[in-house]
Every structure is written in C-alpha cells, then in structure tokens.
Amino acid sequence: MVSEQNQSLMKMLPELLNIAEQAGEAILAVYNASKGDVSGSVPSDNIAFTLKGDDSPVTQADYAAHKVIAAGLSRITPDIPQLSEEGEIPPFNERANWAQYWLIDPLDGTKEFINRNGEYTVNIALVEDHQPVLGVVYVPVKKVFYYGVKGVGSWKKSCKGAMLITARTVGEHEALKVVASRRHGAEEVEKMISEAEKVFGCVEKVSMGSSLKICMLADGSADWYPRLALTSEWDTAAAQAVLEAAGGVIYDAEFNPMECNRKDSMLNPYFHAVADGSYDWKSLVDRALNH
C-alpha cells in the first residue's frame, strides 16, 4: 500500500517532468544555436565553456537550465530549499538542519554536452533525512525520462509511453554487465573486473556518460557501476532515487548506504552502484583489492 507521503510525492511528478523537459529545451537551444543557423552564419560545432574553480567546465546551457529549474521548483514548492550545482551553496551549518531539500544538477555530463555525444542529463532529486526519495533524470536529446519514488517504483518514459522498470538479479543474464565512465578509468576497477570474471566467467564492460550509468542499472540494462573517482552529490542523487526505487542500491566505499548532506563538502565518497543488493559485492571487491 502506498503511504500518504508517497502519494504526495507521486502527485508532484507531472510538474517535475514538465520542469525537467523545459530545462532540456533550454539546453538544446544552446546546443543548436552553437551549430549556426539558416540565416547565413557559419555552422560551428564548438560549444563555448569556461572553467570553474574546480576546473570543471560550465556552459550557458548549465545556467539556462538552472534558471528554469529554480523557477519551476520555487513555484510548486516555495517552502522547500534548493541546492543546485550552478547556484549558491549554503554553508553546512545552515543546510545541516534541512530535513528536506531539492538537490539539482541542471546539466549532468557537461563534457558530454560539449563533445556532442548526447550522454548528458537533467537531474532533479528530493532529499529527505539524507536519502534521495524522489528522482527525475531527463535525457534531452532522446526525450527520455527516468523517474522513481522511494517505496513506490521507477519508470522509464519515452514517446511510446511510461514503462515500469526493475533492476535485474545477478546471474539471470549470460554476462555480468559493468558500466563505467568514458573518462575516469582506474587500475582498481580493472582489478575488480578481473575478479568478477573469475566468478561469473563472462563480464561485459560498457562505457557511458553522466547519470545514465546508474539509470542503466535501474532499467535492467547493467549490473554494477564501480566509481573510484570524484563525483558530487548532485551528480548522483536523482539517479540514486531511481535505482533504489527500482530495487537496486548505492553503497559507499565501505559498503554502507550512500547518504547526502552529511558534511561540508559536496563530494561523494567512492561508491558502488549495484542492481542486485542481495549479492555479496563487498567480498568480491575485497578479494580484488587485497590480492
């Protein structure tokens, strides 16, 4: 039975999907404008960007999407604070007292956006008591949504309609599918994959950008995403909500459930996103790293 709280979250979804789609349209407007137009300007594949203090790139599309999302959330939930990658980050002594807040990455996968491979997303999460309880991930170039509500379920929505999605069980497919970043490989990850090959025989590695890696676990397309490189909480929270509502889980490096807003830094610990939380991933990882 769906709780009253979860019913209220479900009622917000249509508005949230609309906000995410509008943010996607703002992103695509920048994307398409950088190609030139039919008025005679010279087409260009270059998307202008600047570097932030942490050397990560930011574009006009990031800021445009941020404005759309901030305005939309302020309209539908004026009393819920917002924490966005492209907004001001309140000091921890202020946000530590938030029981509920929106956690937003207006354009996750900015490098993918700049390189025009389409693997970038709009991420909107509602966090309660340090856990993402609702998440919307939107893929602008494909017009595809992934969304989930804790205790209810997760869906993938395209032009064909919305479909309930469920994370898959280890061993129910011929190969264990490991999804990884296009840019952040690590020697330790290769050791883990080698150990997985000893256990499962066949391991398939797939590269993907942005939070789509976690969404692949949620929709049954992959089994494991080991992340041994830096990410921020806004990179993962929305997809974490989708994955966990679909039956998966994200563990930190010590294999405790990953939480948000526990410290001053917005950086995540290294983590393991898995489709099947009943499998003993910790033992596999320990064997790989201790041999």
Confidence of residue 38 (pLDDT cuts 50, 70, 90): very low
Confidence of residue 35 (pLDDT cuts 50, 70, 90): low
| Mean pLDDT along residues 58-67 | 93
Q: Is the per-residue pLDDT at 31 higher than 90? A: no
Confidence of residue 133 (pLDDT cuts 50, 70, 90): very high
- Residue 223 is labelled as binding a ligand: no
- Residue 135 is labelled as binding a ligand: no
Q: What is the pLDDT of residue 40?
A: 28
- Residue 50 is labelled as binding a ligand: no
- Residues whose CB is less than 8 angstroms from the CB of residue 15 and which lie 6 or more positions away in sequence, other chains included: 72, 76
- All structural domains of the chain with their residue ranges: 4-165, 176-290
- Residue-wise pLDDT for 171-211, tens only, equals 888 899 999 876 655 788 999 999 999 999 999 999 998 99
Q: Does domain 4-165 have CATH number 3.30.540.10?
A: yes
Q: What is the pLDDT of residue 46?
A: 67
- Residue 110 is labelled as binding a ligand: yes
pTM of the entire structure?
A: 0.93
Q: Is the per-residue pLDDT at 39 higher than 50? A: no
Q: Is the per-residue pLDDT at 214 higher than 90? A: yes
In the chain, % of residues over pLDDT 90: 76
Q: What is the pLDDT of residue 180?
A: 83
Bigger pLDDT: 8 vs 138: 138
Q: What is the pLDDT of residue 182?
A: 61
- Residue-wise pLDDT for 246-275, tens only, equals 999 999 999 999 999 999 999 999 999 999
Q: What is the pLDDT of residue 43?
A: 36
Cα–Cα distance for residue pair 289/174, rounded to 1 Å:
25
H/E segment holding residue 135: strand 131-139
Confidence of residue 42 (pLDDT cuts 50, 70, 90): very low
- Residues whose CB is less than 8 angstroms from the CB of residue 64 and which lie 6 or more positions away in sequence, other chains included: 23, 26, 27, 29, 30
- Residue 108 is labelled as binding a ligand: yes
- Residues whose CB is less than 8 angstroms from the CB of residue 137 and which lie 6 or more positions away in sequence, other chains included: 121, 122, 123, 145, 146, 147, 211, 212, 215, 238, 239, 242
Q: Is the per-residue pLDDT at 287 higher than 80? A: yes
Top mean pLDDT of 32-36, 49-53, 172-176, 212-216 is at 212-216
- Residue-wise pLDDT for 135-169, tens only, equals 999 999 999 999 999 999 999 999 999 999 999 99
Q: Does domain 176-290 have CATH number 3.40.190.80?
A: yes
| Mean pLDDT along residues 104-120 | 90
